[in-house]
Amino acid sequence: MGAGRFRAFRGLVVLTAMSGAFGCGPGPIQAPPPKVAVKSEAPAIDDDALAGRYQAAKERISAIDPADAMGMRGALSELGPQLREIAESAKAAPLRANASLLLGSLYQTNGDSRAAIAFYRQAGALLPGEIEPVRVLALALGADGQFAEAAGLQRRVVEDDADDLAAWLLLGELLVKAGDREGASAAYIAYEIRRKGLIDGLTLRGEEGFVKGPEERSACAAALTPAADNGTAIALVYALKYETDPKVRAVIVETMGIQRLAGYQEVLAERQASEGDAGVKEVITWALAEIARDPLDTRPGPPPELMIPESAAGGGPGAAEDATPSLARPDDGAAAPSP
């Protein structure tokens, strides 16, 4: 009922009441109460529906080339509000955290580091026991020049997984940029210790065979991926030569393919000709194609002195020399292997 109409109605009520008081006409007419408009709230969207939206957004973003600046801007404009709604309204903390991480990555790709860091922090607060939000936040802070805080977070990453060689290298770099030379040296020393430990885990043998089981040797080979240096390369070539389990050999070859060192080509081609396992041959074909696509050189310099233990080939004299039969050793006066 409009305000003017209501005022007119109230005037009519007064006049009628006065007439009744003087004995003229019927008694007073009571005006009905004004109607109150009730807002109809949209039904809340449950987490299953929000999870579907998140997955769809994730697939859309994954299909865009990160180098496509226009595509990424369009994704942020179109999908950003949906992801923000999920990050703010979902009941499940993991779903909110995942939406926050994806939204943060969108902002970071679009050059908005402040917004990216804010959403990464939100993800970390939602899942305080998870290390992945810490990883991405450390990277984002480092990219934004906040090296000291990034290094502090990166320490948590290496504490969570001491065999993550890439994480140790990043910690050293962040500490250097933060001006902590002593801390950086300690990080690089820790990297070398872990690298040596992984090589030992992959190659060491005793009287009864390998010291570690196949699953552990596979894990060691995979963890050596970031160590694209001469010493690690020679160790991987040695490991491939003497490894008895085809599953472990496949992981060794996969690591070589990821590293894409040019010096692996001849070794892998020779291995492919003699390899008896079809699965390993398939991985060798892939690795050779990867190296041919974008070959890389190894880091110059001789292998670390602890690269291959004397006990690796059974412990006898000459074991270390036998470990690298197809490679020139730097201490022989030849050029550094590649590898």
Helices and strands, counts by H and E, the chain:
15, 2
- The full DSSP string for 290-302 is HHHHS-BPPBSSP
Average pLDDT over residues 257-264: 95
| 90 touches 47 (CB < 8 A) | yes
Taken in order 196, 197, 201, 206, the sign of the CA dihedral is positive
Percent helix, strand, coil in the chain, to 5, is: 65, 0, 30
Distance CA 155, CA 158 (A): 5
pLDDT at position 229: 87
Q: Structural domain boundaries of the chain?
A: 52-58+66-144, 214-332
| 324 touches 267 (CB < 8 A) | no
Tokens 């939100």 correspond to: 122
pTM, two decimals, is 0.70
| 96 touches 83 (CB < 8 A) | no
Average pLDDT over residues 159-168: 94
| 300 touches 336 (CB < 8 A) | yes
Q: Is the predicted pLDDT of residue 21 greater than 50, yes or no?
A: no
52-58+66-144, what's its fold? 1.25.40
| 174 touches 157 (CB < 8 A) | no
Q: Is the predicted pLDDT of residue 271 greater than 90, yes or no?
A: yes
In tens, the pLDDT along 59-104 reads 999 999 989 999 999 999 999 999 999 999 999 999 999 999 999 9
pLDDT at position 331: 33
Q: Is the predicted pLDDT of residue 336 greater than 90, yes or no?
A: no
Q: Which of 41-45, 78-82, 324-328 has the lowest mean pLDDT?
A: 324-328
Rounded percentage of the chain residues whose pLDDT exceeds 70: 75
| 285 touches 256 (CB < 8 A) | no
Mean pLDDT of the chain: 81
